[in-house]
Amino acid sequence: MATNFTAIDFESIRNEVYNKFAEERPCWTLVVFASIYTFVASVGIVMNFLVLFVTIRTKELNGSANKLLAIYSLFEMVHQSGHFLFVYTVFSGHYLVAFPIAVRILSPSFFAFGCTTLLLFFTSIDRLLYVIFPLRTAQYDNAIICCVVLPIAGMFGAFYAGSLYLNCGSFDDQLIIGTTTDIGAIAFIQSKNLMKLLYEIVTIILLATIIIYALIAILLHFKKAPSNSNSNQFNMRIFRSLFIIVSVNISGYFVIDFYISAIALNMELPMSLWKWNQITCIVLNVSAASNAPILYLSSLEYRKAFRKELVPFIKIFSRNSVHPH
């Protein structure tokens, strides 16, 4: 996500943040943040992989919502993998990387980030259509996902990532810390109108997602199906799981909204601003790593699938951890 810079320009960031970090060997601030990013990104990738894995392996998880969640988890894995550039630059001792190189390396991560935003929105549309038109076939769902959802999400992801390339020209020789927030911040400095437009689009999409889920809750409340019917119970479980996932993920974005409006706009010290940028980014990535735990706790179908698929791995791990005396 781009960060709003008003009183702080790139020169002050370079002189008071990047150059200071480059002079410290080792720089414990970078080591601490890189370690946190390593843990959060690694856990997030594993958790999202589990959602993708059990969806592929479990025949019962073949609904459109399950498929969209699996695709969302796949893009989250790509998105969170981008943090390892920062991890590499810190632990390799380089600390700084050229801005154009960082943009090229992290373009898949930014592309995936744009896609996840649209996929959250499309999961809400999918659940709304399912409540209104429950009699849909798997072939119909697959066609919608392949011909509508993925192309639109892909175009927005490409637009989001491509917008960063537009800002590479005047920063060809500039060295930065290789975090996604650094690239977003510099892109905002270079092209405030474009990045502000992207930020507003993302916010509108997320607000629309919340409104749609509120509408779904109202429709489910007044739906005539018996409360104890299998179909109604399944719909309520999948709705509850999706609502919690969307709420947790969107809350990460709203933390950034609050940060920008209440903290970033009033901050005058570049080093403090850089640290707060990383903290809010970490919060966002923690929320993005929550899909698997939420599904395990709130969905009976996913709980059974996780247990079934993970038991063999647990047995192997337990066997290898037992040493004969």
Give residue 58's region: left, alpha or beta (phi > 0; psi -120 to 50).
beta
| CATH class of domain segment(s) 10-313 | mainly alpha
Q: Sign of dihedral through CA atoms 300, 305, 308, 313?
A: negative
Burial class (CB in 10 A: 0-12, 13-18, 19+), 259: buried
Tens-digit pLDDT profile for residues 141-183: 788 888 889 999 999 999 888 887 776 666 667 788 889 888 8
Residue 83 has pLDDT above 80, yes or no: yes
**Predicted local confidence at residue 325, as pLDDT:** 47
User: Taking a C-beta distance cutoff of 8 angstroms, is the pair 187, 108 a contact?
Assistant: no
User: Taking a C-beta distance cutoff of 8 angstroms, is the pair 289, 236 a contact?
Assistant: no
Mean pLDDT on 214-219? 85
Whole-model pTM: value is 0.85
- What is the b/e burial string over 84-108, where b = at least 16 CB atoms within 10 angstroms of the residue's CB? bbbbebbeeeebbbbbbebbebbbb
Residues 6+ away with beta carbon under 8 Å from 108 = 78, 81, 82, 161
20 versus 322: the higher-pLDDT residue is 20
**Lowest mean per-residue pLDDT among 22-36, 152-166, 203-217, 260-274:** 260-274
Residue 264 has pLDDT above 60, yes or no: no
Tens-digit pLDDT profile for residues 41-50: 999 999 999 9
Q: Name the 3-class secondary structure at 98.
A: strand
Give residue 209's region: left, alpha or beta (phi > 0; psi -120 to 50).
alpha
**Euclidean distance between CA atoms 170 and 179, whole angstroms:** 19
